Amino acid sequence: MAAVKIGRPALIGLALLAFGWSLTALKVVPQGVLLVLPLVALAIDRLADGDARRVAFVLTTSAVALGGYLFAASTLAAAADGWLFPTAHRAMPVGPLLLGAAVGLALFALTYFVALKPAARDAPARRFWLVAILVTGLVAWAIDRLPALANR
């Protein structure tokens, strides 16, 4: 039971970290969509009734966690392949990307069943994590824009 209490925040924190990292690698329009997504979920959480709140939360957090995990795990696996087996020129590392995708899907499934699905029933936890997604997205967006702002 103690492992679940520690594991839930750790998994959600890892999902937020992966989401923030993946958001900095996106173009402006997908970044905007992913920044509007938690705002829409917060509006639904405020204005809609029971089941719609939970569905909006699960869809939003699932999109954020899945996208973040897939990007982060695939990027890390491809980078590890490049570090372990350096070559001057090589094609796209399909094997490590697939391995990273499998790890990302496994992390997403674990996060979904351990943290996201149970949090959908708890209103304060639901709002907290939606706000955390929004703040993470805004921080990632600002970090992505800092070099452009510094050059002005």
* Summary mean pLDDT of the chain: 82
Please indicate, yes or no, if residue 65 is contained in any of the structural domains.
yes
pLDDT band of 137, cuts 50, 70, 90:
confident
The answer to whether residue 33 sits within a structural domain is: yes
Q: For residue 88, what pLDDT is reported?
A: 64
Residue 16 lies in a domain: no
In terms of residue numbers, what domain contains 62?
Answer: 23-151
Q: Is residue 54 part of a domain?
A: yes
The verdict on residue 100 lying in a domain is yes
Q: What percent of the chain has pLDDT over 90?
A: 3
Confidence of residue 14 (pLDDT cuts 50, 70, 90): confident
Burial (CB count <10 Å: 0-12, 13-18, 19+), residue 39: middle
pLDDT of 152 reads 57
Domain count, the chain: 1
Question: Does 9 map to a domain?
Answer: no
Q: Are 11 and 110 in contact (CB under 8 A)?
A: yes
**What is the mean predicted confidence (pLDDT) over 113-135?**
87
Q: Are 125 and 8 in contact (CB under 8 A)?
A: no
Q: How confident is the model at residue 87 (pLDDT cuts 50, 70, 90)?
A: confident
CA distances from 4 to 19, 113, 114 (A): 22, 11, 7
In a domain, 144, yes or no: yes
Distance from C-alpha of 114 to C-alpha of 56, rounded to nearest angstrom: 18
Give the pLDDT mean for 84-98. Answer: 73
Report the sign of the C-alpha dihedral through residues 62, 63, 67, 68, in that order. negative
Q: How far apart are alpha carbons 86 and 7 in whole angstroms?
A: 35
Q: Residue 127 falls within a domain, yes or no? A: yes
Q: How many angstroms separate the CA atoms of 152 and 144, rounded?
A: 15
